Amino acid sequence: MLALVACAAADAPSLKEARAFQAFPVYYFGESAVGRPLEAVMGAPESQDKLRDTSWIFIYGECEDPPEGDGGCAPLQIHNDSTCIWASINEPTPNKMFDLRGAKAQWHWYDLEVFTGHTALKIAGGPRKLLLEAAQSLREVHQARPHRLHPPSPGVLSGRGCSTNPK
Whole-number Å distance between alpha carbons of 48 and 29: 22
Tens-level pLDDT at each residue, the chain (167 residues): 343 343 444 567 899 999 988 888 999 999 999 999 999 999 866 655 555 567 899 999 987 665 665 555 679 999 999 888 888 888 778 889 999 999 999 999 999 999 999 999 999 999 999 999 999 999 999 999 999 999 999 988 887 877 654 44
> How many Cβ atoms from other residues are within 10 Å of residue 69's Cβ?
5
Domain range annotation of the chain: 2-158
Residue 124 phi/psi, 5-degree rounding, is -140, 165
pTM value surpassing 0.85: no
Q: Which residues contact 50 (CB under 8 A, 6 or more apart)?
A: none
